[in-house]
Amino acid sequence: MTNVPAATRTLRVLRFLAGQPEPVPLDRLAAACDLPRSTAYHLLAAMAAEGFVVHLAEEHRYGLGVAAFEVGSGYSRQAPLARIARRPLARLVDRVGQSAHLAVLHGRDVLYVLEERAPGRPPLVTDVGVRLPAHLTASGRAVLAALTPAQVRVLYPDRDAFTDRTGLGPTSPSALRSLLVDTRRRGHATEEGEVTPGFASVAAAVLDHNGYPVAGLAVTYPGGEGRDGVVDRVDTATVDAVRRTAAELGARLAGR
């Protein structure tokens, strides 16, 4: 490995991080990539400075940075998940008459990779490439609920891990745990006014062949508080449509 060019080492680190369900400690990364610890440390520091890696200092772990997504944006237009999801997402929008979107977990954020806007519906904040706190979004909650409790604890070890947009939503690990328990029990996630006042969402996780949540699929509709006093509750048919579409995407990803 000592004679392998630095570019190859960098690509191996990126590939390793991309294959992990959560950020990893330095020692684990160095061992997996066959790098001396000091070499791995300096390489990660350079990659973090360029945005390809993020250092979660309080957790002593490293994960992929947003620049890794930006470089892959060309691929994302052709990626299996986006290509497979586009038509089912369009059918879902036609069926429920509301806008829908697909997001993937990126650290403690969700990153939106596909959006299908319903005709006549107002624009949302969920444009492709936008990042939002996972614990506040229905998509993020659907994904988090499908992770193991240990994985969630790594992402949200204390109150400092929680950000706020509208004054609503969980602000502690215990509050998030309770919310995710309810999400698992229902089989779908919800949020109401926690991302944007006046709007609410319902979401389900897209699971791969190993049962890992690769994305969250959500429909957003007028609801919650703060939009001309209008409160519009999502119906059971919409929830069922979201869950069926998420299951369809998971099956297609698995080649079924």
pLDDT value at residue 81: 78
pLDDT value at 34 more than 50:
yes
Q: Are 238 and 96 in contact (CB under 8 A)?
A: yes
For the ranges 80-89, 99-108, 117-126, 207-216, which has the lowest average pLDDT?
Answer: 117-126
Sheet with 61-64, edge to edge strand ranges: 24-25, 61-64, 53-56
Give the confidence band of 1 by pLDDT, cuts at 50, 70, 90.
very low
3-state secondary structure of 179: helix
CA distance 201 to 190: 6
pLDDT tens string 242-255? 999 999 998 887 76
Give the pair of three-digit tokens for residue 166. Answer: 């509208």
3-state secondary structure of 131: strand
pLDDT value at residue 77: 46
Over residues 185-203, mean pLDDT:
91
pLDDT value at residue 255: 62
Q: Which fold has domain 6-68?
A: Arc Repressor Mutant, subunit A (1.10.10)
Give the pair of three-digit tokens for residue 118. Answer: 């319903």
DSSP H stretches of helix in 63-122: 66-71, 73-76, 80-96
pLDDT value at residue 227: 39
pLDDT tens string 204-255? 999 987 788 989 999 998 874 433 433 345 678 899 999 999 999 988 877 6
pLDDT value at 132 more than 60:
yes
pLDDT value at 46 more than 70:
yes
pTM above 0.85, yes or no: no
Parse the chain into domains and list their residue ranges.
Answer: 6-68, 72-253
Q: Which fold has domain 72-253?
A: Beta-Lactamase (3.30.450)
